[in-house]
Structure 1
Amino acid sequence: MLERRVLEMTWRDGLFCHWPVDPAVVSGTLPDRLSVATHGGDAYLSVVAFVMDDIRPRGAPVGLSFPELNLRTYVEGPDGPGVYFYNLDADDRIGVELARRLFALPYYRAEMDVSHPATAKRSESAGGPVRFTSRRAHPGVPHARFDATYEPTGEALAAEPGSLDAFLVENYRFYAEGNRLYRGEITHEPWTLRAATVDLRANTLFEANGFDRPDGDPIVRYAEPIDVSADRIRSVC
């Protein structure tokens, strides 16, 4: 339950790419107050790409929209389980500057483009291919590129409680380290997911965050659009 719903938005064109890794790969990269969460003995590193659409203070008639790309893992923390962000690349100059200035969070300015090459006009729920490109344009930090085309291929599914899908996507708390450890809370209906294919032409987020590229192919999911409410970011007590 959120203490206060500060922001409302819609997330669309969502891509989840999940790689299983040995927990030791993750454990040494976490702040002292976080520990690795595992499923079936594996930790996971996930690249998540999506568009944050119509972001606005609750009750405001008009909002902003921009793409975001992040690398994350799954943790147990002082305020409960959640995801931990290594980077949050966004095509939003003002938001990135504020997040870095106020909290020193790992937000980076990037030049991004999201397009739907199969159709000239596409409704939010139509499915079909999505091309997502990102080139980090933030000075003084490691370069990062991402270029992928992804497309839903399966029937809609909800993540069953206790399943791997639920472990990877049904997370309503996040942690990020800046000038201290912070956490945020969101709320939304359960995700509607679809199996998906991805043509991953470029992805240097692992190298940019000090990881070797994981072996094997990722678990890939396409996420249907979803309405999200978010509380303000708070320091972890």
Structure 2
Amino acid sequence: MPHVNQSSNRQTNQQQLKLGIYCDFQNVYLSPELASSLLAFASARGSLISRKVYYNSLFENQASAKEYLQRIGFKCEDVTCSLKNSADNQLKSDLIDDVYNNQSPDIFILVSGDGDFANPVQFLQDKDKNVIIFSQRGNVKQRLKNLANEFHFVDELPQLVVKNTQPKNACIEFDITYNETIEYLIEAINTALVQKKRTGFGYINNLMSKLFPKYQGVSSIYVPDANKFKSFGQFVDAVVRDGKVQKQGHELFLIA
């Protein structure tokens, strides 16, 4: 079992991750309870530096939500243009712009099930960002779901908040070694190839979580010097340098 001080250092490194929330309110309605739970979920993962909701005040149900969202700290972006997907386009633009900010999030939380966000999510991952997606049941495109580094339905938020606020020492047993994680990575790539799926970073990371419950994202990988991998891309680069897998662009392949 890792030394107590090492465990504490690893938790501190995780808390230093920066997060941003981007909510497509026209696609996913957040009640006051779910909006508060979303903030609690993000705050438990690190430092929440951005919290934006995109809505259209021409719709009464969206305009009425602005008051409680602003009260709990969201920045509400009113996109009243009547053109189709205008709010989505503004959200996409902000995602790209925020990648290049000095205080760019390490983790982007996207609240939407709209398939139009698949390419922006891929762009974020190409920039070595992790993407967590929340969608409503019955209103999510499968490609978007598959791309997510982590995916949840919004109605799961209250339970996720309880799980995330459990005593941290309860999670220590899930730490896995770098070498173990390489084995998980290779198995996930092989599974994806057998299924004739693309082996993009987001899909493989998600598949590893499904196949191996011990794997809870790159923050669960234990390394001797207590420095966590900050992103899945950083972990992949290390594995490629060690000659265990090959990378072409942002797709992964087994060594022949």
Does TM, normalized by the shorter one, top 0.5?
no
Determine which structure has more spread, i.e. the larger CA radius of gyration: 2
Tell me the TM-score normalized by structure 1.
0.25
Decide which structure has greater helix share: 2
Higher RCO, 1 vs 2 (CA within 8 Å, ≥6 residues apart): 1
Q: TM-score normalized by structure 2?
A: 0.24
